[in-house]
């Protein structure tokens, strides 16, 4: 594995490595190419900020700030430099143009050689991840990574999701998710990620806007608070909307949520899972009151869920600590 072909590793393994090291504040890259110049001497750059990796659309990372950077830049993840091909793909003409304009760069597991027509790419910086550290990460998380590659769901998971309008909006014909007990996550989770028996925490926060929490987190701690936590147990597999409607014997044309736009006969929310509410906690909890070394990861996870409106997995020990704080 160390000296051989890495191609059998899914790119999500690199994603998980980046997310893990960023949470530990130990993420760094080795600079390979900068300002069209190959870097001969070893040069390591620390990562100051990494936005959540929400999917695999180009570019993989919408925003990342490296040491000495003044603003965020996008980045694309590849196994090796030669696999980068967006400059030659007509489908990504606009995206690649914006990628260059925003000074996007490439993150690779290993630099091999420049892709074809590399001369068309102006100022595409290239960075390698710490390969030895990546190997250690893979060894320490071997069972989890293998299970994910085999798409086996082997343990109970806990997910944090933001309530959003559809959780509470209702009208005469359509129930809110709070009462219909169906929900669609805001990213492409699959049956390995989310399965029957898993826990989901729907959260609602107050006291500060998303922009304030995202950009001025340290200055809003005394204002920002948890307004409500709905603890649920997932009671069905996550399915496509078509499968859900077929199993429930309802027309695919059925509107499932109040804020559920449809364009060209395609629904905006196209995946569904069912859940049962176990407990509702609606006592205001100030983040400043529960802030500690033990809750640092938890608060950061909630911050990302609130700011970016997507689902985040919570480690079981963090979940237990969380329950101890609020109950």
Instruction: Output 112 or 4, whichever has higher pLDDT.
Output: 112
The mean pLDDT value for 125-136 works out to 91
pTM of the model: 0.58
- Over residues 305-325, the pLDDT tens digits come to 888 888 888 888 788 877 776
Per-residue pLDDT band for 154 (boundaries 50, 70, 90) equals low
Q: What is the CA radius of gyration of the chain?
A: 22
Question: What are the backbone dihedrals phi and psi of residue 285, each rounded to the nearest 5 degrees, phi first?
Answer: -125, 115
Per-residue pLDDT band for 145 (boundaries 50, 70, 90) equals low
Three-state secondary structure call for residue 178? helix
- Over residues 190-231, the pLDDT tens digits come to 776 788 899 999 999 988 888 888 765 556 667 889 999 999
Whole-number average pLDDT of the chain: 84
CATH of 152-326, one of 3.30.70.980, 3.30.1330.10, 3.40.50.720, 3.10.590.10: 3.10.590.10
Contact criterion met (CB below 8 Å) for 257 and 272: no
The mean pLDDT value for 115-120 works out to 79
pLDDT for residue 151: 56
Lookup: tokens for 105: 């760069």
All CATH 3.10.590.10 domain ranges of the chain, comma separated, are: 152-326
pLDDT for residue 144: 62
Distance CA 114, CA 118 (A): 6
pLDDT for residue 183: 95
- Residue 175 neighbours by CB under 8 Å, 6+ apart: none
């Amino acid at each position: 594995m160390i000296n051989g072909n890495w191609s059998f590793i899914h790119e999500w393994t690199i994603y998980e490595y980046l997310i893990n090291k960023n949470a530990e504040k130990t993420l760094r890259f080795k600079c390979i190419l900068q300002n069209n110049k190959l870097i001969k001497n070893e040069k390591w750059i620390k990562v100051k900020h990494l936005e959540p990796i929400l999917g695999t659309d180009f570019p993989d990372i919408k925003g990342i700030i490296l040491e000495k950077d003044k603003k965020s830049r996008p980045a694309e993840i590849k196994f090796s430099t030669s696999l980068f091909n967006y400059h030659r793909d007509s489908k990504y003409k606009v995206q690649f143009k914006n990628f260059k304009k925003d000074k996007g760069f490439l993150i690779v597991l290993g630099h091999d050689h420049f892709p074809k027509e590399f001369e068309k790419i102006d100022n595409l910086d290239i960075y390698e991840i710490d390969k030895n550290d990546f190997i250690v990460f893979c060894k320490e998380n071997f069972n989890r990574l293998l299970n994910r590659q085999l798409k086996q769901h082997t343990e109970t998971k806990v997910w944090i999701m933001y309530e959003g309008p559809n959780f509470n909006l209702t009208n005469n014909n359509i129930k809110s998710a709070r009462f219909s007990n169906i929900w669609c996550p805001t990213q492409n989770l699959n049956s390995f990620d989310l399965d029957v028996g898993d826990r989901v925490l729907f959260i609602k926060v107050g006291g500060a806007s998303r922009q304030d929490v995202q950009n001025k987190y340290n200055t809003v701690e005394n204002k920002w608070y948890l307004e409500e936590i709905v603890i649920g147990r997932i009671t069905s597999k996550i399915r496509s909307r078509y499968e859900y409607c077929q199993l429930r014997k309802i027309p695919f044309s059925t509107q499932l949520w109040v804020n559920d736009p449809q364009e060209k006969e395609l629904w905006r929310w196209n995946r569904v899972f069912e859940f049962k509410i176990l407990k509702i906690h609606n006592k205001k909890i100030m983040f400043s009151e529960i802030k500690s070394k033990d809750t640092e990861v938890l608060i950061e996870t909630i911050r990302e869920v609130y700011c970016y409106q997507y689902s985040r997995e919570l480690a079981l020990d963090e979940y237990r600590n969380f329950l101890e704080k609020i109950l």
